[in-house]
Every structure is written in structure tokens, then in C-alpha cells.
Amino acid sequence: MSDDRPGTSDGKAAREARLRAALRANLQRRKAQARARAAEADGDDNSGSETGGDDS
């Protein structure tokens, strides 16, 4: 029933474009968080092994 209204297809296209942009931004944010976590984990492992070597 809503397809009879004028401008419905334009509204649908605009909604899809907004959703695509939001999904892309969300994906990039999650990738950045994962990279930060990986870098943090790598930094913790390296610093732990260095301090352990100094004590021996």
C-alpha cells in the first residue's frame, strides 16, 4: 500500500544509502578497535618477556 505514494522509491533509496554508510562506519570502527586490541596485546607480551629476561 505504501508503494502508491509518490517519493517512496526515493525514500527507500535514501534509507538504503544511510544504512550502507552506517554499516561501513560501524565496520571501520570495529576494525580499528580490533587493531588497537591486537597492538595492545602485542605490546604487553613483548614488555613482559623483556622484564622477565632482565631478572634472570
The total number of residues written for the chain in this structure = 56
Residue 45 is predicted with a pLDDT of 55
pLDDT cut 90: percent of the chain above it: 52
Tell me, yes or no, whether 29 lies in a domain.
yes
Tell me, yes or no, whether 22 lies in a domain.
yes
d(CA 43, CA 3): 56
User: Does pTM top 0.75 for this prediction?
Assistant: no
Tell me, yes or no, whether 1 lies in a domain.
no
Which segments of the chain have a pLDDT < 50? Answer: 1
Tell me, yes or no, whether 32 lies in a domain.
yes
What does the angle CA 5 – CA 20 – CA 22 come to, to the nearest 5 degrees? 110
Tell me, yes or no, whether 4 lies in a domain.
no
List the domain range (segments joined by +) for residue 26.
9-50
Number of independent structural domains in the chain = 1
Residue 4 is predicted with a pLDDT of 61
Residue 43 is predicted with a pLDDT of 79
Tell me, yes or no, whether 3 lies in a domain.
no
